[in-house]
Structure 1
Amino acid sequence: MAEDLVLDTAIRDWVLIPLTVVMILIGILRYFVSKLMQSQQTPDAKIVKEGQVVVRARNLRAGANFIPAKSFRARRAYFSNEENGLLHVPKGQDQNPQAQMFSDPNMAMDMMKKNLSMIIPQTLTFAWVNFFFSGFVAAKIPFPLTQRFRSMLQNGIDLSTVDVSYVSSRSWYFLNLFGLRGLFSLILGEENAMDDTQRMMQMGGLGFDPTKNLSAEKDGLDIIQHEWALPKFEQRAEAVLKKLVS
């Protein structure tokens, strides 16, 4: 049977609150440090041009049924022609984004700076938490949980008799590490509130690949079936007018 614990207020004042405040301050400090370390890069004209082409192709797909079939076929050929279409990527010209990263030293340096700005603070913070706060039961979740959450919420506590809703100090660190996105969005703005899960997904060095977007939009235009919506709209309008008159 799971035991109910009485949490000391000193643990709240000297473990739970300081750990949360330190995690928030480290997240804010890491954001400003990464901004200072980020090098100013001029946008690549080729990437900007390809991005605009993708946006125009998406607008064409979205409004395809509101233009005549002849006009749609002409625009689709303009974008997806195999010889000189804007969305056509000749073989041999597509570049692997990882190879592009290694060919551009500035991109590789920025990627390394972003990874270091994430790894170093979190390593030091985890060592600090593991040394000073390991073994504390810091909080209790106000609703019951199943046994599957024990390994996630009670990291560092090897007591199977403790209720699952109790959270250890080490688990509280990980919950703050991956769950402060909403607070950072209020403090730093939505675009600057990237959490550590997304940063870890980007640590592989895979950047933006415009050739994949061009190929995807080309395939989307090739398979779309044109069905002009304006004649049906006129018929529906006439039917509504007849009902109103009658």
Structure 2
Amino acid sequence: MAEDLVLDTAIRDWVLIPLSMVMVLIGILRNFVSKLMRSSNQVPDPKMVKEGQVIIRARNLRAAANFIPAKSFRARRVYFNNEENGLLYVPKGQAQNPQAQMFSDPNMAMDMMKKNLSMIIPQTLTYAWVNFFFSGFVAAKIPFPLTQRFRSMLQNGIDLSTVDVSYVSSRSWYFLNLFGLRGLFSLILGEENATDDTQRMMQMSGFGFDPTRVHMLTNFLPFLSH
């Protein structure tokens, strides 16, 4: 049977709140450091800026699919992904590989390495700090019941299966802050900030932007609108 714990208020004052504040401050500091480390002579590629604007327009069309007439939606969909002159259509074999572009552009490769360093070094030091000083602490409790599947995510560092799943360890609170403060950073620093670790990890894993995938997704827009 799961045990209910009584959390000391000192844990809130000396573990939960300081850990959250440190994560926020480190994220803000990383954003400014990343901006300082960018190449000062780097000029945005007009073609890439144009493609990004097209993607935003297509995304807005998908979001507003239920608010415009079906005929207008189909016309806009053809405008984006028809095989003759669609803005999102890329013939096979002509899709640009982001990794090949990175290796061909030294400035882009250097900027990518700086961004990865700005992510890896602070998070490694922060994790070591949390693991050394706050290992084994039960920092908080989720105010609603959870299933056993959440135990490995919320109780990292606590080897007790009798503790209720809704309790969160300090190490798990670190990971929740690491991936859960994206919305807060967007409000504080704006949408184009350098603290999005989830997107950065996807880029490091090789999941870059592929226009052919966007073209495939736009084919399903009529089905998503209903």
Within 2, Cα distance between the matches of 1:120 and 1:145? 33
Residues 1-246 of structure 1: pairs in structure 2 closer than 5 A: 1-40=1-40, 41-47=42-48, 51=51, 79=85, 95-192=96-193, 195-204=196-205, 207-208=208-209, 212=212, 216=215
Alpha-carbon spacing, 1:42–1:148, altered in 2? closer, same or farther (3 Å): same
The 3-state SS of whatever aligns with 2:139 is: strand
- Structure 1 residue 47, shift from structure 2 partner: 4.4
Within 1, Cα distance between the matches of 2:185 and 2:54? 31
Q: Describe the superposition over 1:153-192 as per-residue Cα deviations: whole angstroms up to 9, x where unpaired.
A: 1111111111111111101111111111121122112332
Alpha-carbon spacing, 1:10–1:196, altered in 2? closer, same or farther (3 Å): same
- Structure 1 residue 54, shift from structure 2 partner: 6.1
Within 1, Cα distance between the matches of 2:140 and 2:16? 7
Alpha-carbon spacing, 1:111–1:4, altered in 2? closer, same or farther (3 Å): same
- Structure 1 residue 24, shift from structure 2 partner: 0.4
Are the equivalent residues in 1 in contact too, given 2:135–2:157 (CA < 8 A)? yes
Are the equivalent residues in 2 in contact too, given 1:146–1:164 (CA < 8 A)? yes
Within 2, Cα distance between the matches of 1:176 and 1:77? 44
Structure 2 runs not aligned, ≥5 long: 62-70, 220-226
Within 2, Cα distance between the matches of 1:181 and 1:195? 6
- Structure 1 residue 48, shift from structure 2 partner: 5.5
Tell me the matched-pair count: 202
Q: Describe the superposition over 1:30-49 as per-residue Cα deviations: whole angstroms up to 9, x where unpaired.
A: 11111111114223355457
Are the equivalent residues in 2 in contact too, given 1:145–1:164 (CA < 8 A)? yes
Are the equivalent residues in 2 in contact too, given 1:147–1:164 (CA < 8 A)? yes
Percentage identity across paired residues of the two chains: 78
Within 1, Cα distance between the matches of 2:103 and 2:189? 31
- Structure 1 residue 142, shift from structure 2 partner: 1.1
Are the equivalent residues in 2 in contact too, given 1:181–1:193 (CA < 8 A)? no
Kindly provide the amino acid, as one letter, of the partner of residue 12 in structure 2.
Answer: R
Alpha-carbon spacing, 1:62–1:37, altered in 2? closer, same or farther (3 Å): farther
The Cα RMSD (Å) is: 3.6
TM-score w.r.t. structure 2 length?
A: 0.74
Within 1, Cα distance between the matches of 2:46 and 2:162? 62
Are the equivalent residues in 2 in contact too, given 1:137–1:166 (CA < 8 A)? yes
